[in-house]
Amino acid sequence: MQTQKLTGTVKFFNEGKGFGFIKHDDSNQETFVHVTGLKEQVKENDRVEFELQQGRKGMNAVNVRVIR
């Protein structure tokens, strides 16, 4: 099964706690992201590409990469 790549902007990321939220480009939806889902470090307002994966409490962003 092909995984859909989505794009968005890091709305919030707390490095100390290791989590944040990404706002999708194509909607007002926001997705939780945990440090374990990052391929590289991110910070607020970074443009990113990511995939969705079902987590314990809903969908999580995984394989998150900064778009340069």
| Model pLDDT for residues 20-55, shown as the tens digit of each residue | 999 999 998 999 999 999 999 999 999 999 999 999
pLDDT at 17: 97
Q: Is 2's pLDDT higher than 80?
A: no
Phi, psi of 36 (to 5 degrees): -70, -15
β-sheet bridge partners, residue 11: none
Q: Which residues of 32-51 are buried (b: 16+ CB within 10 A; e: fewer)?
A: ebeeebbeeebeeebebbbe
